[in-house]
Amino acid sequence: MLVLGIESSCDETGVALVQWQDQAMPTLLSHALYSQIDMHQAFGGVVPELASRDHIRRVLPLTQEVLAESGRSLADVDVVAYTRGPGLAGALLVGAGVACALGAALDKPVLGVHHLEGHLLSPFLSADPPEFPFVALLVSGGHTQLMRVDGVGRYQLLGETIDDAAGEAFDKSAKLMGLGYPGGPALAKMAEQGDAKAYALPRPLLKSGNLDFSFAGLKTAVLVQAQRMVAADLAHSLGQQPSQVQPTGSSTAGFDALPRAQQCDLAASTQAAIVEVLVKKSMLALKHTGLQRLVVAGGVGANRALREQLNAACAKRAVRVHYPELHLCTDNGAMIAMAAAMRLQSGLQQAGKTYAFDVKPRWPLDSL
Ligand code: KG4
Ligand code: ZN
């Protein structure tokens, strides 16, 4: 069986081909990705209307690219899968519309896939795939969740963020530091040269005893700290006491003129606060469930400090930890084709020839 997968939920257009036979693990034949980050950067975040229009431009050329790369033609495709939600409505409609049009033209069935199920199952595309059951830490730009996963489609929510997602905490803190959009990777890069203990930042809900997260307060703490640093620097250059110079408003103007070491220290301290909460809550989820396997997925799963600290914490507890390949951590078509393949293979779902489509901008994973 050959599945064509199309991802268009946010600011990346991804297309991929995944193949499987009988009960063997599906394999990735080819995938292609176009990131709109450069286009949105000028606006400091994703502009939904621009995202939708760009998906329209990219999706068919990317489809031709993956077919050419794998030496297949559209006629070889058995199922067309697309991201049905969650995500930006207009962006989702592009992928859904194209997938259903292709399905109708080829007389092949289509299947709408849950974006987070794609992330969750993406480690099955790696050289060291996990086995069920496991605890999954889903950390993306829009979601931070801990799930108990007993099989394909068997997802139980253990805890989630009550406000911002971990990726948002990275991005919003990075924006305060003048690092552009999405700032997560840039902040992580600066953090590598900084001292993670330089500034004491809050670890929200760390000791709550439950598996929920809260990251909204962290960005305020980062803002206050950045303003203090700018004020202290100004006072120093004026020969005054830091208390004589008051930060104003919500601006962090002047942060980028601070000594680079100070900027890196704040980046490292911010990253450490986010990572510590993610690691401790993941360990608590393993303890609560009694499971010995952890799967990490979503864009923030690419973070090196997170991987190092999860690896160390898991090694201490003899827990196996699995990640997607680095290039498949952020949004891509491969995970959508893979999730469709695994749902079809498990018999959980069938692809249909009904080409009327809808999208689900909000769609809880445990409602699948
Ligand atoms: O999963 P994803 O590609 O998109 C969503 O479904 O949201 O995740 C994107 C998020 C962004 O917030 C981005 O800043 C973050 O993942 N991210 C990182 C890193 N790479 C991507 N955050 C921290 N460190 C990284 N290396
Ligand atoms: Zn995603």
Question: What homologous superfamily is domain 2-126+328-367 in, according to CATH?
Answer: ATPase, nucleotide binding domain (3.30.420.40)
**Per-residue model confidence (pLDDT) at position 247:** 67
Helix axis angle, 304-316 to 184-191, nearest 10° = 70
Q: Which of 114, 170, 275 to mutate to test the pocket of ligand 1 (most atoms within 8 A of CB)?
A: 170
> Looking at the domain 134-224+255-323, which fold is it?
Nucleotidyltransferase; domain 5 (3.30.420)
Ligand 1 atom closest to residue 142's alpha carbon, by position in its atom list:
7
Counting ligands in written order, which one lies closest to the CA of residue 113?
A: 2
Q: What is the pLDDT averaged over residues 159-175?
A: 96
Residues 6+ apart with CB under 8 A from 53: none
Ligand 1 atom closest to residue 174's alpha carbon, by position in its atom list:
14
Q: Give residue 165's pLDDT band: very low, low, confident or very high (50, 70, 90).
A: very high
Q: How far is the CA of 254 from the centre of ligand 1 (A)?
A: 26
**Per-residue model confidence (pLDDT) at position 249:** 64
- Mean pLDDT score across all residues of the chain: 95
Neighbouring-strand partners of residue 321: 294
Report the C-alpha gap between 177 and 188 in whole angstroms: 12
Counting ligands in written order, which one lies closest to the CA of residue 301?
A: 1
Instruction: Please tell me if the CB atom of residue 166 comes closer than 6 angstroms to any atom of ligand 1.
Output: no
Instruction: Please tell me if the CB atom of residue 185 comes closer than 6 angstroms to any atom of ligand 1.
Output: yes
CB-based burial of residue 102 (10 Å sphere; 0-12 exposed, 13-18 middle, 19+ buried)? buried
- pLDDT higher than threshold 80 for residue 243: no
Q: How far is the CA of 246 from the centre of ligand 1 (A)?
A: 34
Neighbour tally for 217: CB within 10 Å: 15
**Per-residue model confidence (pLDDT) at position 92:** 98
Neighbour tally for 265: CB within 10 Å: 23
From-to residues of CATH 3.30.420.40 in the chain = 2-126+328-367, 134-224+255-323
Q: Do residues 10 and 165 make contact, with C-beta atoms less than 8 angstroms apart?
A: no
pLDDT tens figures, 21-42: 999 999 999 999 999 999 998 8
pLDDT tens figures, 315-364: 999 999 999 999 999 999 999 999 999 999 999 999 999 999 999 999 99
**Per-residue model confidence (pLDDT) at position 241:** 78
**Per-residue model confidence (pLDDT) at position 248:** 64
Instruction: Please tell me if the CB atom of residue 303 comes closer than 6 angstroms to any atom of ligand 1.
Output: yes
pLDDT tens figures, 38-68: 999 889 889 999 999 999 999 999 999 999 9
Instruction: Please tell me if the CB atom of residue 141 comes closer than 6 angstroms to any atom of ligand 1.
Output: yes
Instruction: Please tell me if the CB atom of residue 330 comes closer than 6 angstroms to any atom of ligand 1.
Output: yes
pLDDT over 90 for what percent of the chain? 89
Q: How far is the CA of 300 from the centre of ligand 1 (A)?
A: 4
Counting ligands in written order, which one lies closest to the CA of residue 143?
A: 1
Q: How far is the CA of 332 from the centre of ligand 2 (A)?
A: 8
**Per-residue model confidence (pLDDT) at position 175:** 93
The model's pTM: 0.94
Q: What is the pLDDT averaged over residues 156-161?
A: 97
Instruction: Please tell me if the CB atom of residue 87 comes closer than 6 angstroms to any atom of ligand 1.
Output: no
